[in-house]
Amino acid sequence: MGVKRNWLLVITKVVIDIALCIVVINSVKTFFVFTKGFHGIDYSISIPVRMANTLERYYPTHEVKDGRITMNAHFGTARVLTYNPFPQFLMIVGFVLNQLLVIAILYNLRKIFRMFYHHQPFDYKNVTSIKIIALYLSLIWIKDIIFNLITYSYYLKYELAYKFGWRWDFKIRGIVIAAIVYIVAEIFKYGFELKRENEEFV
Amino acid sequence: MGIIVNLDVQMAKNKMSLKELAERVDISMTNLSLLKTGKVKGVRFDTLEAICRELNCKPGDILDITDDG
C-alpha cells in the first residue's frame, strides 16, 4: 500500500538537521572566541535591561571598580571592559551550558522527526525523546534564573541597577513551555499504548 | 475458561496452507500464525468473516470455549 509523503514533514526534518549542524559549528567557534585571552578582554554581552527614558538621549558610561561598562541604548546591549575575570567566566559557563542543552534538544527533535518520517509517531522512543526535551527546557529556564541572579547581583554591587534602570524579571514562560511539552509526551504515551493494544487484535 | 482456536483443523479440511490463507484474507502470515496458536487478544469481525468465507465454515467451527478447571 503506497503512503503519501508529507512534504512539510520532509522540509521540517531537513531544516532541523541543518539547524543542528549550524548550532554545533557556531557554538564551537563562539566558545573559542569567548575563551581567547581569558581575563581582561573587552567583549560585548547582551543583558536584557530596561532602560530609563533619560538614558536614550546619550550613551552612558559608568566606571566600575575594576573596569568600565558602556550602554548602547539603541541596541539594548551592555559593553563590558573588566579586569576581573569573573563576569567572563560566568558568561562562558552560561554559554556552554546553554548551547549543550540547545544541541541536545535539537538532537532529540531530529530523532522524533526521523520516526515521523518513517510513519512511526506512536513509538516509545518518541515518548522518551519528548520527555527529555521537556526536561532540558526546564533546565534552561533554571539556568537562566540562576545566571541572571548572579549577573544582576554582581552588577548591583556597583549600584548599576539604579544608574541604568536595570531590573531583573522573573519569566515563567520557560517552565510553562516545558510543562506543555511534557503534556504532549503523555499524549504520545497514551497513543503508543492504544497502538499496542490495537496491534494485538488481528 | 479459555477460548481455543481450531483454525488449523479447518485449514487441513480445506487443504489450505497458512501462506495461501493469509494472502486470501489480506493479513500478514505472522498475525495469522499468532491467531492459529491463540496468542492474540482478539479478532476483528471483518477478519473472522474473511476467514470463514475462505474456509467455507462458521465462526463456531473456528472458535471454541474450554473449561480450564
- Comparison of pLDDT for B30 and B67, the residue scoring more: B30
Of all residues in chain A, the percent with pLDDT exceeding 90 is: 33
Pairing of strands A43-45, B63-66: unpaired
Confidence of residue A33 (pLDDT cuts 50, 70, 90): confident
Q: What is the mean pLDDT of chain B?
A: 90
The pLDDT of residue A42 is: 55
**In chain B, at which residue ranges do the beta strands (DSSP E only) sit?**
2-5, 63-66
pLDDT: which is higher, A167 or A150: A150
Instruction: Name the interface residues of A facing B (CB cutoff 8 Å).
Output: 197, 200-202
pLDDT surpassing 90 at residue A127: yes
Question: Does residue A65 have a pLDDT over 80?
Answer: no
> Is the pLDDT score of B16 beyond 80?
yes
Record: contact B44-A202, CB cut-off 8 A: yes
pLDDT of residue B68: 65
What confidence score (pLDDT) does residue B13 get? 93
pLDDT at A76 over 50: yes
Write the ipTM.
Answer: 0.72
Q: Are A202 and B47 in contact (CB under 8 A)?
A: yes
Q: Which residues pair with B64 in a beta bridge?
A: B4
Q: How confident is the model at residue A190 (pLDDT cuts 50, 70, 90)?
A: very high
Three-state DSSP at B65 gives: strand
C-alpha B19/C-alpha B33 separation (Å) is 10
pLDDT for the residue numbered A165: 54
Q: Which DSSP string corresponds to A61-92?
A: EEEETTEEEEEETTTTEEEEEES-SHHHHHHH
Distance from CA of B68 to the nearest CA of A (A): 23
Provide the β-strand partners of residue A201. B42
Does the pTM surpass 0.80? The reply is no
- A115 pLDDT exceeds 60? yes
Higher pLDDT, A198 or A102: A102
| Inter-chain CB pairs, A–B, below 8 Å | 19
Contact call for B31 and A200, based on CB within 8 A = no
Contacts of B10 (CB under 8 A, 6+ apart): B55, B57, B61, B62
The pairing of strands A61-64 and A67-72 is antiparallel
**pLDDT tier, A81 (very low <50, low <70, confident <90, very high otherwise):** low
Low-confidence winner among A14-28, A53-67, A81-95, B40-54 (lowest mean pLDDT)? A53-67
**Within an 8 Å CB–CB cutoff, is residue B62 touching chain A?**
no
Position A192 scores a pLDDT of 93
From the CA of B14, how many Å to the nearest CA of chain A? 21
> Which residue of A lies nearest to B32 if distances are taken between CA atoms?
A202
What percent of chain B lies above the pLDDT cut of 70? 96
CA pair distance A157, A144, nearest whole angstrom: 20
Q: What integer is the mean pLDDT of A163-174?
A: 66
Phi, psi for residue A133 in degrees, rounded to 5: -60, -40
